[in-house]
């Protein structure tokens, strides 16, 4: 199984698509690293402001590791659980249709926002087969402990999009087939905001989820100085006075 990841650019938005519907968009090691490379490209391109991760087809967003790849040595490189930690510095959204299982949840956990079709299903089957899930620490910071444990312990049951929305893990549940459209709509709205503020707020929120309050506040103070010194802040004031949208440069 070769890496099956396609990257498209739509204005300020990068769309990263897992593209192996015959295998429910399961991944091998090369595919995981291709997703990581895409997020690096997102950060390096000043014209891009938001990334959207999706899967091809309506049956699955991603069902995790491809079993054949595991058996045939497709994970001779590291399994790359770092993807669950949100390695992109710019905002990312997971557009989820169909099954989102095991490592599929890992990839979605690495995104900042998650939008799912109504019939999407979620689950962590690892405990059923005694498989590892090195990335569960990331999920534990996104959910209440009892919710993370519910997913981890009930390995033979799939939970609904409604249940994951109740847990607070999904930002929105939409009609089936509309997850990507809605994610792109959110991406456009995010992309219209000041990129310097958005990226710093993302950093502060993620950092603040585990750091000591005094350290999170110190980062917030440093960000305040940086934001007030930016050209975009002066541009925002000018645009407001002239009653027009600001022209963001990220400087």
Residues 81 and 187 grouped into a single domain = yes
pLDDT at 72: 65
Q: Between 30 and 90, where is the model more confident?
A: 90
Residues 110 and 75 grouped into a single domain = yes
User: In the predicted model, is pLDDT for residue 194 greater than 80?
Assistant: yes
Residues 168 and 85 grouped into a single domain = yes
87 assigned to some structural domain: yes
250 assigned to some structural domain: no
Residues 140 and 57 grouped into a single domain = yes
pLDDT at 81: 85
pLDDT at 19: 96
- What's the predicted TM-score (pTM) here? 0.94
User: In the predicted model, is pLDDT for residue 193 greater than 60?
Assistant: yes
Number of domains, the chain: 2
Averaged pLDDT, 205-223 = 96
pLDDT, averaged across the chain: 94
pLDDT at 1: 47
pLDDT at 68: 74
Phi-psi domain of 50 (left: phi exceeds 0; alpha: psi -120 through 50; beta: other): beta
221 assigned to some structural domain: yes
User: In the predicted model, is pLDDT for residue 174 greater than 60?
Assistant: yes
Residues 93 and 26 grouped into a single domain = yes
Averaged pLDDT, 152-172 = 96
39-85 pLDDT tens trace: 999 999 999 999 999 999 999 999 998 877 666 665 666 567 899 99
Residues 183 and 199 grouped into a single domain = no
For residues 162 and 215, the answer to whether their CB atoms sit within 8 Å is no
247 assigned to some structural domain: no
Residues 206 and 123 grouped into a single domain = no
Percentage of the chain with pLDDT > 70?
A: 94
248 assigned to some structural domain: no
**Cβ neighbours of 92 (radius 10 Å):** 27
251 assigned to some structural domain: no
153 assigned to some structural domain: yes
pLDDT at 7: 97
CATH number for 24: 3.90.226.10
Residues 150 and 229 grouped into a single domain = no
Residues 43 and 150 grouped into a single domain = yes
**What range defines the domain where residue 199 resides?**
195-241
Confidence category of residue 98, pLDDT binned at 50, 70, 90: very high
């Amino acid at each position: 199984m070769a890496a099956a990841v396609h990257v498209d650019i739509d204005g300020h938005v990068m769309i990263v698509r897992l593209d192996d519907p015959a295998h429910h968009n399961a991944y091998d090691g090369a595919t995981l690293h291709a997703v990581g490379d895409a997020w690096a490209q997102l950060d390096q391109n000043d014209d891009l402001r938001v990334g959207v991760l999706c899967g091809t087809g309506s049956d699955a967003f991603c069902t995790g590791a491809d079993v054949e790849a595991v058996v045939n040595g497709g994970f001779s490189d590291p399994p790359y659980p770092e993807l669950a930690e949100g390695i992109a510095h710019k905002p990312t959204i997971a557009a989820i249709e169909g099954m989102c299982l095991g490592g599929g949840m890992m990839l979605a956990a690495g995104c900042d926002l998650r939008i799912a079709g109504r019939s999407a299903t979620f689950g962590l089957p690892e405990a059923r087969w005694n498989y590892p899930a090195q990335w569960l620490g990331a999920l534990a910071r996104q959910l209440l402990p009892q919710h993370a444990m519910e997913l981890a312990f009930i390995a033979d049951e799939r939970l609904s999009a409604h249940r994951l929305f109740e847990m607070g893990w999904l930002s929105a549940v939409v009609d089936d087939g509309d997850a990507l459209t809605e994610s792109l709509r959110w991406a456009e709205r995010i992309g219209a905001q000041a990129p310097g503020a958005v990226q710093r707020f993302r950093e502060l929120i993620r950092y603040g989820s585990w750091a000591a309050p005094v350290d999170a506040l110190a980062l917030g103070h440093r960000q305040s100085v940086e934001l007030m010194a930016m050209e975009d802040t002066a541009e925002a004031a000018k645009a407001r006075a002239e009653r027009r949208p600001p022209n963001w440069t990220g400087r």
